[in-house]
Amino acid sequence: MTRSLPRIHPDVRGFDRSAATYERGRPDYPATAVHHLGRVLHLGPGTIVVDLGCGTGKFTRALRPLGATRIAVEPTAGMRRVFATVVPDVPIVDGTAEKIPLPDGFADAVVCAQSFHWFRPRRAMREIARVLRPGGGLAMVWNTRDDRVGWSRQISRIVARYRWMSPKSREARWRPAFSRPNPWFGPLHERRFRHAQRGSVETFVERTLSVSVIANLPPARRRAVASEVRAVITADARARPGRAITLPYETEVYWSYRR
């Protein structure tokens, strides 16, 4: 019998139909950040790591060099279909952070890349702690665009018209759950890493279209956003047809250990 899963955030549903755009447009993750997590979470051969809210498997692939066994959990069917194509060697299951379809004490670590802000923090923390072995670790990772770049800043202004969750509002959704005492996890640790995404103008158009609030727009409105973003980028002196452009990112890494 199929069990009912808790309702996911309405904005997340846009990812279901935009999974291919997400895969093409989103950046990968810096190897330095992945190796750091491998060290602090003690990941390697013989350990198990769960990628929770894995999307199309961008971070799942980044974890491969650590040698740990990887399991992916994702609630949207569109994302799971793309994941199965691009990461065929990793099993993926249908589940949410509040109801993970894995046994108690199953994993050595749970990682959440670009996803923890969509969870109900306290319920998710309790459920993640259930799945972790004693002393196991929870990690949260975000790639954040560097809006000191003029065209990136203009894109943020375009997206902000549509109830966009800015990095500041994103952090306000999850950090308070770690700022007050809880029975599941200890202190929160943090490190930041430099990163960059390199691609064509269309890469960054698709990066914008993969934002949840844009993915949820009607098709005509999405096309209008794409045209506006394309015009903003091509107006930049460095964006020439056929020439790759680079956008700096900061990769934020947070981790905590199960009590």
Residue-range definition of the domain harbouring residue 172: 10-145+166-196+249-257
pLDDT over threshold 80, residue 73: yes
Reported as a pLDDT band with limits 50, 70 and 90, residue 3 is very low
pLDDT confidence of residue 199? 94
Angle at 173 between CA 167 and CA 175, to 5 degrees: 90
pLDDT confidence of residue 203? 95
pLDDT confidence of residue 242? 65
- For the domain that residue 43 is a member of, what is the CATH number? 3.40.50.150
Which DSSP symbol is given to 99?
Answer: B
- What tokens does 143 get? 């790639």
Residue 207: inside a domain, yes or no? no
pLDDT over threshold 50, residue 174: yes
pLDDT over threshold 70, residue 259: yes
Q: 243 in helix, strand or coil?
A: coil
pLDDT confidence of residue 17? 83
pLDDT single digits (tens) 132-144 = 999 999 999 999 9
Please state the φ and ψ torsions of residue 182, each to the nearest 5 degrees. -145, 155
pLDDT over threshold 60, residue 4: no
pLDDT over threshold 70, residue 122: yes
Mean pLDDT of 102-111: 98
Burial 39-62 (b: 16+ CB within 10 A, else e): ebbebeeebbbbbbbbbbbbbbbb
pLDDT over threshold 80, residue 107: yes
Q: In Å, how far from its chain's centre is CA 179?
A: 22
Residue 217: inside a domain, yes or no? no
Give CA–CA dist 183/151, Å, rounded: 44
pLDDT over threshold 90, residue 158: yes
Residue 63: inside a domain, yes or no? yes
Residue 210: inside a domain, yes or no? no
pLDDT confidence of residue 2? 36
Residue 236: inside a domain, yes or no? no
pLDDT single digits (tens) 24-51 = 999 999 999 999 999 999 999 999 999 9
pLDDT confidence of residue 35? 98
pLDDT confidence of residue 180? 87
pLDDT confidence of residue 163? 84
Total domains in the fold of the chain: 1
Residue 20: inside a domain, yes or no? yes
pLDDT confidence of residue 239? 58
Residue 223: inside a domain, yes or no? no
Give CA–CA dist 257/74, Å, rounded: 23
Residue 83: inside a domain, yes or no? yes
pLDDT single digits (tens) 189-240 = 999 999 999 999 999 999 999 999 999 999 999 999 999 999 999 988 565 6
pLDDT over threshold 90, residue 244: no
